[in-house]
Structure 1
Amino acid sequence: MADGCMRLSGAGYRKRALEQDEGHATRTLELFYTETIAALVAIEEDPHEKAITRNEATGIRIQLELLETAFMQGLWSFLLTSFNAVSKKLQNVNTTISEVISLFNGLVKVVSDTREEFDQYEEKALSISTIQEYKTLRQRRRNQNLQPGENRDNSIQLSGRDNFRVNTFNVILDRTLTELTRRREAYQKIYSKFSLITDMKHLSNEELREKSIILSQYYTQDLKENLGNEMVFFKAYCTEKKILNYSPLELLKMLRQDNLQISYPNLEIALRMFLSIPISNCSAERSFSVLKRVKNYLRSSLSENKLNALALLTIESDLFLSIDCEDIIREFAAEKSRRKEL
């Protein structure tokens, strides 16, 4: 065991691992794939190790030696490296929605191109995998009652390679591409509402007024109908001062510095709304925070269904508080009533 562990704990390993600023597990596994398998073999053959430890090492080694595992670690290493770079940019407070859309366009292009690179990933996996063939699915043939004129020759039997490509490789990339496209469209929808601000220099006065009406109708409680006139006047002001290339943040700072928010109150509100829209979300983290508040020591014996229901009511508290519960309570009381008329 000592020799195998030394391969993974020596100075060379630490240096190479630290040089990879991404730091995720798939990248580390890609760098030390053969060393990891050698270390597992050393653990298996070490008589001083517990039997359960040797068995676990054997199971992990068998999985790592599969061609499919070597293929997937190379694929995920590439994808997670790309996602990690975008994630770091999304966490920057100065990142704008237009930049986010460009980042998502890049990810969509990367995933689309990766779908056509199966052979490259396969070649790389074959170079490090112990097993050089894909697992072939062996299925028991079902007895079918064939109608006159039918035969079993129409059934398609995929090879191990084709089955892995169709049912694993393509499925992962297609689902990832669908989710990325959905999120990009959500950002594009928000961006289009505020295009009168981001694309002000490219829009005519009539287009500015039309887009201002759409935005003010969407935020009726915040913006007035004269937003269009303010945009036309402000564009003329920016043209005169030659600041049409300013970003929304720079425009808001300029409004405050020149004390123009009194002249353009609706524009100032629209700028603040646009700049305060978060470019990322943390719905999963909020769910865990809610569970921590709901399932305290007084509710430690809650069933899963009840816990899920309480968590959903807490997460969607705004919607829940807007619902009139009197009818629901009366309905519930009527159903649970045990009084019987004599």
Structure 2
Amino acid sequence: MHLQKVELDLAEAVNLLKSLASFFLEIRKVFDGYERKGMELCGLTSYKIKRKQIRKLKTDEIRDNEEIYFNERDKFRIHTFYAIIDKLTAEMDRRCQAYIGTLEQFDVLFHLKDVNVTELKEMGLTISKAFCHENDIIEELVHLQCHLKSLNLGSNRVAIPENPKDFIKMAQGEGITRHLPERRNFT
């Protein structure tokens, strides 16, 4: 399954989850087709007919709020088919929102070549907030941007990552420590 690939980046995952949610909503609209196919597979021609049971009234009771009665087909459609589709759609939306949140937090890493230092610092605030207002991260992002640009000027050109896949390849292949100076605690 494509969503389970190790190489899949969050942006692709978000798009796939959105398309799955849309697909489920389309399935919800065509219950009749799925019902027909299901009945053919099971060898059924109709639903089991069940008589509606009516409770006898006591002498002092009045039947004023008549319950709505659904036939077996409507019960299946509402309580089973729609319930499953709605649960799947809600789960896809929930996962999509989680991935979008993560993607937005770290999106700054994939705009290193597109933004100036001021914009980079503003974008770095989202990562800083995610890590308990770690202000050093903002300066380290600026340093990473400058370092990658300087590497790109020399003879050993290193492409500044444009997307999550490229960033991971750079970090794994080149070794992220090769691009970042060793972080020392001077306290």
For the criterion TM > 0.5, the same-fold answer is: yes
Larger radius of gyration: 1
Root-mean-square deviation (CA, aligned residues, Å) is 3.3
Distance 2:47 2:111 in 1: 52
Q: What are structure 1's unaligned runs of at least 5 residues?
A: 1-84, 266-342
The Cα of 1:124 is off from its aligned counterpart by: 1.7
Q: Could you tell me which residue of structure 2 aligns to residue 195 of structure 1?
A: 107
Q: Is the 8 A contact 1:196 1:203 kept in 2?
A: no
Change in 2 beyond 3 A, CA 1:197/1:257: closer
Q: Counterpart of 2:128?
A: 216
- Identify which of structures 1 and 2 has the higher relative contact order when contacts are C-alpha pairs closer than 8 Å and 6+ apart: 2
User: Aligned equivalents of 2:11 and 2:56: distance in 1?
Assistant: 58
Partner of 1:245 in structure 2? Answer: 162
Matched-pair contact (CA < 8 Å) for 1:255–1:261: no
State whether residues 208 and 228 of structure 1, in contact with CA within 8 Å, keep that contact through their aligned partners in structure 2.
yes
What corresponds to 1:256 in structure 2?
175
In 1, Cα distance between equivalents of 2:87 and 2:72: 22
> Map of 1:310-325 to 2, 5 A cutoff?
none
Instruction: Verify: 1:227 aligned to 2:140, yes or no.
Output: yes
Distance 1:255 1:143, change over 3 A: same
Task: Please list, as runs of the form range in 1=range in 2, the aligned pairs for 1:161-176 lying within 5 A after superposition.
Answer: 161-176=73-88
Q: Which structure is higher in helix share? A: 1
What are structure 2's unaligned runs of at least 5 residues?
Answer: none
Q: Aligned runs of 1:30-41 on 2, under 5 Å?
A: none
Alignment match, 2:36: 123
Q: Which whole-Å deviations, capped at 9, do the CAs of 1:231-290 have from their partners, x for residues lacking one? A: 553575588666453611133257638932118x6xxxxxxxxxxxxxxxxxxxxxxxxx
The percent of aligned pairs where both chains have the same amino acid is 21
Displacement of 1:99 after TM fit?
2.7
The aligned residue for residue 49 of structure 1 is none
Aligned pairs for 1:149-188 (under 5 A) are 150=64, 152=66, 155-188=67-100
State the Cα deviation string for residues 175-228 of structure 1 (Å, max 9, x = none): 111122212212221111101013445555433211212312422597714135
Post-superposition CA distance 1:273-315 (Å, at most 9, x none): xxxxxxxxxxxxxxxxxxxxxxxxxxxxxxxxxxxxxxxxxxx
Q: Which moved further from structure 2: 195-204 or 116-125?
A: 195-204
Residues in 1 aligned to 2:133 and 2:117: alpha-carbon distance in whole angstroms: 24
Alignment of 1:1-342 (within 5 A): 85-86=1-2, 89-90=3-4, 92-143=5-56, 145-146=61-62, 150=64, 152=66, 155-201=67-113, 203=115, 205-220=117-132, 224=136, 225-230=138-143, 232-233=145-146, 236-237=149-150, 243-245=160-162, 247-253=166-172, 256=175, 259-262=178-181
Q: Taking structure 1 as the reference length, what is the TM-score of the superposition?
A: 0.43
